[in-house]
Structure 1
């Protein structure tokens, strides 16, 4: 069994605990938390498994890494604490662990990542024998392996479009929703996540990754942005009230331009309530969906919906992102130590539950 640590128990971490427990080759060795209120709680309770696992959450990073776990699922946020997240990941790799994480988005396309980010990881790999695989939480598979797989089903491909269509009203990260993305803020507020060049910083690596796989050279990466206000005040179950006139929906694209035209596109359509921007793309049902559209011959459209933690589709998206990462662990353990991306790590089959 592969001793595996889950570091962080937010939206992704809870799903990661469930995925580790379900995997026949993995053993949940420890759960690391930041919130003092979670220390000492059973991981099964935190992860909403409905049973205790006998693994109590701890905040003692030194002790957990000193036990030399073979793998770490790093599920703590990197949005507003990137340097800290990178330091944590490098520490775990240096301790000899295979680390999988969605937190370090500049390493989605690690071959083209800045040297100042690659070098600390590669030094840790050389020193400790660990590995690192980064795949996004939006989820990564929706912007790399799925569109590339589907593109191979056609005879001619004109445009590859990846969409996340999401209702934030059920999400449980109020700081990210209100301040990073700007939902509920005045329309003249500048959300950090929507500042010029930031979407490219986050999702440009996945555009470059797809271009590399499809063997095309990008002229450039462009961004588009549209924002809509709420027409009426709405109340959400987890984050309270969002006032009329404040930002209620955002739509942006990160476009890989080939021969002057956007040919590889990652698009996000996000709302705080279904009533805002009803003319924009909508999920078939529920809170959200991920969609790949291949414009060409034939035209192919694939929509993926996932539910977890009841009927929560936001949790379902997090669960599939966590599943992609957790299911890669046994492959990474058998591979040589190194820094990997989504083109290196195959999409692994699941296991039938016993």
Structure 2
């Protein structure tokens, strides 16, 4: 059994605990939390499982790593603390662990990550013998391995478009919804997530990774952003009111330009209510979906709708992203120490329960 730590118990961490517990080759060795109120709580309780797992959450990172776990699922956010997240991850690699995480955007395409970051990871690998695999929570597979797999089913490929289409009404991170994404803010408010260069910083690596797999050179990466205001005030059960005239929907694209045209596109369409921007792409059903469209011959369109935690689509998306990471752990443990990306790590088959 591969002893595995889950570090962080938010939206991603909850799913990670469940995934590690369900994996027959992994053993949940510890759960690391930042919130003192969570210290001592059973991992099963934190993950929303029916029974206890017999693993109490700890705030003592040093003790957890001193036990020399073979793997760490780093589920703490790196959105507003990328330097701290990197420091945590390097610490785990130096302790000899395989680390899987969605928290370092710059390493989605590890080969083109900033040199100083690559050197820091490699130094930690050389010192401790651990490894690192980074894949997105939006989810990464929807912007790399899935579109690349589907692209191989046709005779010609003109454009690859990866879409995340979501209603954030039930998303369990109000600060992110209101301030990072900007829902409910005045239209002159600049949401950090779509400030100039930020979409490319977060999703540009996935565009570059797909271009590398397709064997094409990008001219550049461009961004487009569009926002819509709510016509009427809407009330959500989880987050209260969002006033008329404030931001109710945002749509942006990160475009890989080849031969002067957008040929590889990652697009996000996010709403706080289905009535806002009805002319924009919508999910086939429910509150969210991930979609891949291959424009070519034949034209191929695939939509993925995942649900978890009582039918929540956002939670389902998180769970599939976590599944990609957790299911890669046994492969990574068997591989040589190093820095890996989505083109290096194969998709792993599931297991019948």
Band the TM-score falls in, shorter-chain normalisation: over 0.9
Superposed, which structure 2 residues align to 1:196-215 within 5 Å?
Answer: 196-215=196-215
Compute the displacement of 1:286 (Å).
1.4
Aligned length: 353
Aligned partners of 2:121 and 2:178: how far apart in 1?
Answer: 32
Aligned partners of 1:259 and 1:17: how far apart in 2?
Answer: 45
Aligned partners of 1:322 and 1:245: how far apart in 2?
Answer: 36
Aligned partners of 1:48 and 1:99: how far apart in 2?
Answer: 24
Partner of 2:248: 248
Superposed CA offset, 1:102-161 (max 9, x none):
000100001001012111111000000000000000000000000000000000000000
Partner of 1:24: 24
Aligned partners of 1:131 and 1:235: how far apart in 2?
Answer: 45
Superposed CA offset, 1:299-320 (max 9, x none):
0000000000011011000000
Aligned partners of 1:327 and 1:239: how far apart in 2?
Answer: 33
Aligned alpha-carbon RMSD (Å):
0.6
Aligned partners of 2:160 and 2:276: how far apart in 1?
Answer: 26
Which runs of 5 or more structure 2 residues have no equivalent in the other structure?
Answer: none
SS in 1 for 2:324: helix
Compute the displacement of 1:237 (Å).
2.1
Superposed CA offset, 1:188-212 (max 9, x none):
0011111111100100000000000
Which runs of 5 or more structure 1 residues have no equivalent in the other structure?
Answer: none
Partner of 1:112: 112
Query: Which has the higher mean CA deviation after the structures are superposed, 291-300 or 178-187?
Result: 178-187
TM-score, normalised relative to structure 1: 0.99
Partner of 1:268: 268
Partner of 1:132: 132
Partner of 2:83: 83
Compute the displacement of 1:35 (Å).
1.1
Aligned partners of 1:222 and 1:343: how far apart in 2?
Answer: 23
TM-score, normalised relative to structure 2: 0.99
Superposed, which structure 2 residues align to 1:1-354 within 5 Å?
Answer: 1-353=1-353
